[in-house]
Amino acid sequence: MLFSSVSFMFLFAPVVVGINCLLQMNGKKNGWWLIAASAVYYGLAQINALPVFLISVGVNFLFSKHIEKKGMLFFGVLFNLLFLGCFKYTNFLIDNVNSFFKTDFEFVKILLPLGISFFTFVQIAYLVDLARGTAKKMNFSEYVLFVSFFPQISAGPIVSYAEMMPQYRNSNERLSWQKAYAALILFIIGFAKKKLADNYAFFANELFDGGKSSFAWAWLGTIGYTFQLYFDFSGYCDMGMAVAKMLNISLPVNFNSPYKADSIQDFWRRWHITLSMWLRNYLYIPLGGSRKGLARTVLNYFIVFLLGGFWHGAGWTFIVWGAMHGTALGIHRVWKMLNRPLPKIAGVIVTFLFIHLTWVFFRAATVEQGMEIVSEMFAPVNFDVPEWVCIRKYVLQCFVGIICAFAAPNSMRIFKSVNAGKKTFYFAICLIFSGLFLTVQANSAPAFLYFKF
């Protein structure tokens, strides 16, 4: 079930929020209601993966109850990594074994459970936090809700105990009309982003799947994917946060105008923020962080983002993407030591162009395809007039993306402004009617991109 589907927007979400409000008004606990809603959501989205999800939750809960015993953290983390690897990386391993050893093992049909990369990281973090003493043990219902809360389960954000459990334990406060109104505006913004992303998908797919090959299509298709990925993922997060806020739960912010970043480090403080924090807290710092000299710091960046790339998907393209980011962060670290910062605007342009280049490999089916597209981008320009006439409407759409990503306020700024009462009536009405107008295409909307990760 997609957040952008008619069944979610006009049936599932209103019923869940409405009954939750009734429970709050009568001072009733809502934990089991949210668990039931989350189970229904996951079952409707991927019923055959529900047993897999429940096994993961059940086993991790048992580990959490005995975390103080020797070796329990090690085996808990190992279980999660093997569990994730079994479902996500088995065929990648078979493919590479066949290529390296000239064997002929057959691929196996393995289900990829919805959200497995996300709920695995959530549970690893909780076990580590328990062992560190920064989290407390939960009872079974609390733990199930913590992991399965439906606005986050599909594609994040990656939540932590410290952020979420105090809210779940105090989620019976009544929802104010002002907050509900602001959350509705946030949901509509997220929905509009999703529809915008679907428009960019058309010409991105023409390049990556349709075989278009030229200088113009290389740039058009890659820019299209650059905006598609951002609007798709941030739109999903906006809608998830909006629904959670209607349930009196605040999910962590996952995006903060990432394409306005003036360095690669700044980008990772703005893009998929909860993943960045997870990699920092549970990989980068345990590896030594920046405490063991420049060479070790640069190596740690590379290792962390190599693994971060592999977390996204079972393919060499993701590993290349991660290696590019790890290398860029290392170079940025050295550059900072030279104390020669770029002008702000130059930093934004250089960073955006680099990010745009790395998305080529993130989207490409193979490393070879990624290299071919990059070579087309930097090949001598061939001004084919009929081709430029054909693509001019897509060029205009790219300018719309540039305005939205670089000039417009981000969704959280708008939410905070509306929630604080600093709103314009006509602005809100326009947003609402824009959202209603766009719903005519809701059922035909493709799945969110990060669902496959």
- Output the six-digit token pair for 230: 């951002």
Active site residue 66: no
| CB neighbour class for 370 (10 Å; exposed up to 12, middle 13-18, buried from 19) | buried
Q: What's the 3-state SS for the chain? A: CCCCCHHHHHHHHHHHHHHHHHHHHCCCCCHHHHHHHHHHHHHHHHHHHHHHHHHHHHHHHHHHHCCCCCCHHHHHHHHHHHHHHHHHCHHHHHHHHHHHHCCCCCCCCCCCCCCHHHHHHHHHHHHHHHHHCCCCCCCHHHHHHHHHCHHHHCCCCCCCHHHHHHHHHCCCCCCCHHHHHHHHHHHHHHHHHHHHHHHHHHHHHHHHCCCCCCHHHHHHHHHHHHHHHHHHHHHHHHHHHHHHHHCCCCCCCCCCCHHHCCCHHHHHCCCCHHHHHHHHHHHHCCCCCCCCCHHHHHHHHHHHHHHHHHHHCCCHHHHHHHHHHHHHHHHHHHHHHHCCCCCHHHHHHHHHHHHHHHHHHHHCCCHHHHHHHHHHHCCCCCCCHHHHHHHHHHHHHHHHHHHHHHHCCCHHHHHHHHHCCCCCHHHHHHHHHHHHHHHHHHHHCCCCHHHHC
What's the CA gap between 26 and 43, in Å, rounded?
Answer: 29
Q: Determine which one of 312, 325, 332, 356 is catalytic.
A: 312
Residue 138 near residue 65, CB atoms below 8 Å: no
In the numeric block, which tokens belong to residue 193? 């982003």
Catalytic machinery residues: 312
